Amino acid sequence: MPTVDYLALSDNGFLFDTRNGNTYNLSKTGTFILRSLVEGVAPDAVAARIVEHFDIEAATAEQDAAQFLFRLKDMGLIGGDLGDEVNS
Amino acid sequence: MSAPKVITVAVTGLNATDSPAPGVPVIRAIRDAFGDRVRIVGLAYDTLDPGNFLPGLADHVYIMPYPSQGSEVLITRLLAIHDEVAIDVLIPTLDAELPSIIKAVDRLHEAGIRTFLPDEDMLRLRDKVRLHELDAKFGIRVPKGVVISDPADIARLDQELEFPVMVKGQFYEAYIAYSPMDVHAHFEKLRAKWGVPIIVQRYVPGEEYDVVLVGDGEGGLVGSVAMRKMQLTDKGKAWGGVTISDAKLDQYVRHAVAALKWRGPCEMEVMKSASGYHLIEINPRFPAWVYLSVGARRNLPAAVVRLALGEAVEAMPPASPGVMFLRYAYDQICDMEEYAALTTVGQLHRDRSEGDPS
């Protein structure tokens, strides 16, 4: 499981990267996804968790989760290991 | 040796405008740590330095002669002030005064004024004009640099460096240059302001981090706080910042401190690029943002006072990330009599203890 302990995420979606001081505002869904990772949910289980909490189709949840995780990786917020898992 | 009951600490650099000196935050940090057990002597270079007038900051303020008047004038004034207020510890905070004070450290110690500063060799090593030598000598990665005093040398720069480059004054200011013509323009501007030589450095793209630290002089790090600037003034000074936690940066800084056997306070400016960390500059004193170290529960100015007094200070673990500071401008109402005292006799006394010269 990749570690994201360098990310400080508040309940209202404010994200602080402790390694470099960068800050971000996440949407409600983005906060939910990243919170899931922080809590140790495997990346490939995130979509199912979204379906449990939000009233959307599984296919949409999978697409949204994959896109969001790809974006996090692209911005350097999550590491290559996680990206590999996401892309696999 | 144990600290006296009430210690007297003298701190220089009380300017607090948009390019502030570090004196005010250093004093605030010391007051936070020592409370009533410290008496502060502010050493200012201008009667209108805002730190002279801040309530609760300095018990005494003395106007100092500019370092450009010569080492002897500066040290004579310091010793004369010492005769009046018995300074236990001196913390200089300005680049321009450091060579004179460090040269006179033995004289100051003999008089009873203690310091915790780098020696002359360390001061020379971190000089901007020699910084590029640190890589070969100590394995500290720094951008390749060329020192030029003659503008004719600019034409040959491309034999040693690729453009763009950074053009830096020997004391302050730096500009990016994309061509020899740009270098010429910046060279003339910097020469007029700060004299020669001018330093031309390889441009390292990336993110800048600043680290305030205290070295123990034997290769150990007493404490450090790493910061990312969040807001800049038009002079590039930090107007806001946040502590960060980067294990690799910490390791890089520890290596530099160990290699240099740095003693006392300093600020390291480090650029993080795709190829790793590069030391851009070492400022051999506390930076103006040093009060952030108090917010991060690593009171580095207080540590320097204790080290100067000969007390043991335990090495501090790296500071926690996420502690923010924002600087603000503040209109301080001042007492005209205090201004008059500084203007006419060059000193001001607010001390409440006995034996005060006022």
In three-state form (DSSP H/G/I as H, E/B as E, the rest C), the secondary structure along B148-173 is ECCHHHHHHHHHCCCCCEEEECCCCC
Across the interface, which of B207, B227, B321 has its CB nearest the CB of A18? Answer: B321
Please check whether residue B203 is in contact with residue B165, taking contact to mean a CB–CB distance below 8 angstroms: yes
Question: How much is the average pLDDT of A5-26?
Answer: 94
Q: How confident is the model at residue A83 (pLDDT cuts 50, 70, 90)?
A: very low
Q: How confident is the model at residue A86 (pLDDT cuts 50, 70, 90)?
A: very low
In a domain, A24, yes or no: yes
Q: Rank A47-61, A68-82, B233-247, B283-297 by mean pLDDT and report only the highest.
A: B283-297
Please check whether residue B207 is in contact with residue A20, taking contact to mean a CB–CB distance below 8 angstroms: yes
Alpha helices in chain A (DSSP H): 28-38, 46-53, 58-74, 80-87
Report all structural domains of chain B as residue ranges with CATH numbers, in order of start.
7-115+330-349 (3.40.50.20), 144-202 (3.30.1490.20), 205-326 (3.30.470.20)
In a domain, A16, yes or no: yes
A3, A19, A75: which to substitute to probe chain B, counting the most B Cβ within 10 Å? A19
Q: Does A5 touch chain B (CB under 8 A)?
A: no
B316 Cα to chain A: minimum distance (Å): 19
pLDDT of A1 strictly over 60: no
C-alpha triplet B50, B112, B47: angle, nearest 5°: 15
pLDDT for the residue B299: 98
In a domain, A1, yes or no: no
Q: Using a CB-CB distance cutoff of 8 angstroms, which residues of chain A are in contact with residue B228?
A: 20-21
Give the 3-state secondary structure of residue A25.
strand
Give mean pLDDT in consecutive 10-residue pieces for chain B, a chain of 358 residues: 79 92 98 97 97 96 93 96 98 94 97 97 88 88 92 90 92 89 95 91 94 97 97 88 96 95 97 93 96 98 98 95 94 94 95 49
In a domain, A14, yes or no: yes
Q: Which residues pair with B345 in a beta bridge?
A: none
Phi and psi for B40 in degrees, rounded to 5?
A: -105, 130
The count of structural domains within chain A is 1
Q: Which domain holds residue A39?
A: 7-87
In sequence order, what DSSP letters do the residues of B256-296 get, joined into one string? HHHHHT-EEEEEEEEEEETTEEEEEEEESS--TTTTHHHHT
Show the tokens assigned to B127.
Answer: 């000089």
C-alpha triplet B166, B171, B177: angle, nearest 5°: 15
A6 Cα to chain B: minimum distance (Å): 8
In a domain, A32, yes or no: yes
pLDDT for the residue B286: 98
pLDDT of A88 strictly over 50: no
Q: Say whether B228 and A21 touch across the interface (CB within 8 A).
A: yes
Phi and psi for B26 in degrees, rounded to 5?
A: -65, -45
In a domain, A42, yes or no: yes
Cis peptide before B164 (omega within 30 of 0): yes
State whether the Cα torsion B335-B286-B29-B291 is positive or negative.
positive
What's the Cα-to-Cα distance from B229 to each of B77, B143, B165, B248, B270, rounded to whole Å? 37, 21, 22, 18, 12
A80 Cα to chain B: minimum distance (Å): 16
In a domain, A19, yes or no: yes
User: Could you give the CA distance from residue A32 to residue A22 in angstroms, rounded to a whole number?
Assistant: 20
Q: Say whether A18 and B272 touch across the interface (CB within 8 A).
A: no
In a domain, A2, yes or no: no
pLDDT of A25 strictly over 90: yes
Q: How confident is the model at residue A82 (pLDDT cuts 50, 70, 90)?
A: very low
